[in-house]
Structure 1
């Protein structure tokens, strides 16, 4: 079970845990600062509106505990609110505009730059943020020269043998994957009696997809009556623990690579 502000990741790798003097004295040549970017939005009748941000913090906590002691990797408090306007009107959803979220992340990046950091990872756990973070990463690079990475933990895989192909394709919100993970992190925050199955019907289309080949603009109300897309009834905490362990293993290895990476090495 996940506990915020407890354990070695929070004691040893939570940047605001340090004093200004300690931050100044950190070795920064390979230092990587991670900014979790999540959301507070409806996740159907069974999951907390904190789901995305909760998953971000729990995943990073587990990952940072797997790093070598000398790794210069630091976590910031999350930007808990995201661009969630596709869920507006559904109770509990709190959304930032694209301009507001862009301003917040840009200001954080500028502040890190002024503190002497040169590398930043935007760690995203909400699909509605993805396109904006892609644009922002390049804008920050151009503005202040920082090396900026961005990723969503789902892109690292880890569930292919646990989740059905249909669910992997269409279970994009509050389905088996997310519900299993939250059950592993905070089981008391999941209301099993309200878990449902609702999968958008894209079977008649060859090219159109929700998040793939050719996408179309949608609101959650366009594709779901329940507020979820997927089958939450299949979720188990066991699957969630396996997914979390696999993703954190891969992410721990990836963070080592990010610390060593220099953009100048790419150009021959």
Structure 2
């Protein structure tokens, strides 16, 4: 079946339309849309990393979520905006406008079904701006729609205790944390015997980049032929499960907060994008 990492009882497409119409409190029910990518992740990881991690982490969180917190997952968007990796075979990329339209149209369907809270759980570092644009577009159209675009790995987790200082400052792709998570979520796809370490050169302007990360536009090929931007060595399955567990626990709290919270509401003017005349409701 198509639920993948999302527990079946939390997978919205397994309900009939009459089941969905009968759901209580749809306006506070949180709908989770994992958004990943299919792109190269070096010679040791599969191209599906971002899609696996986004759906795997949120699936684990939905599995642990208390029964009284209403939330459902959607099938993930597995293709993303991955043009910084298009020089490598296996990368399948959408354009920004295509991804923007896809997310926006799914969001409209979620709203049309009576839901008013949508989490865009992003697993790919090359597309947060597109998700933010989609969220803003939907908010402009619907003054009572709460859309949260957020990267799955940005919440509190244990990865910091496993990575080096260089990894913390400069790693961006196929490094220690992603490798550990994949060892936990899809171990058969990881080939550590092929692993290589590679970092970008330190950006020469401390004013523009205090930690040395590139402050200019880049593609993965700019930093060498492997596609790796980090150090996967030392990653273990045990570390991966620890990172996954701590991330999932953080997302349980975040989903709980989203379910209970109330946010600014406003009427939408007939011409679409009006001033926000709203009020903040008190939290339940």
**Alignment TM-score, normalising by the size of structure 1:** 0.92
Work out whether residues 104 and 135 of structure 2, in 8 Å CA contact, stay in contact via their aligned partners in 1.
no
- Quote the offset at 1:210 in angstroms: 10
Work out whether residues 82 and 95 of structure 1, in 8 Å CA contact, stay in contact via their aligned partners in 2.
yes
- The corresponding residue for 1:110 is 108
2: CA distance between counterparts of 1:211 and 1:116?
45
2: CA distance between counterparts of 1:199 and 1:4?
37
Which structure shows the higher helix fraction?
1
Q: Gaps (5+ residues) in structure 1? A: none
1:152 matches 2:151? yes
- The corresponding residue for 2:77 is 79
More moved, 72-81 vs 208-217: 208-217
2: CA distance between counterparts of 1:237 and 1:173?
18
- The corresponding residue for 2:137 is 139
1: CA distance between counterparts of 2:86 and 2:133?
23
1: CA distance between counterparts of 2:171 and 2:189?
20
Work out whether residues 181 and 243 of structure 1, in 8 Å CA contact, stay in contact via their aligned partners in 2.
yes
Considering only aligned residues, what root-mean-square deviation do their CA atoms show, in Å? 2.2
- The corresponding residue for 2:223 is 223
Give per-residue Cα distances to partners, 1:225-256, cap 9 Å, x unaligned.
21010001221111111100001011100111
Decide whether aligned partners of structure 1 residues 210 and 87 sit closer, same or farther in structure 2, where only a CA change above 3 A counts: farther
**Within 5 A, what are the aligned runs for 1:196-235?**
196-202=196-202, 204-209=204-209, 215-235=215-235
1:249 matches 2:246? no
**Alignment TM-score, normalising by the size of structure 2:** 0.87
- Quote the offset at 1:169 in angstroms: 2.2
- Quote the offset at 1:106 in angstroms: 0.7
**Rg bigger for which structure?**
2
- The list of structure 1 runs, each at least 4 consecutive aligned residues, that deviate by more than 3 angstroms after superposition, is 3-7, 207-214, 265-268
Count the aligned residue pairs: 265
- SS of corresponding position for 2:153: helix
Work out whether residues 208 and 216 of structure 1, in 8 Å CA contact, stay in contact via their aligned partners in 2.
no
Decide whether aligned partners of structure 1 residues 203 and 92 sit closer, same or farther in structure 2, where only a CA change above 3 A counts: same
- Quote the offset at 1:165 in angstroms: 2.4
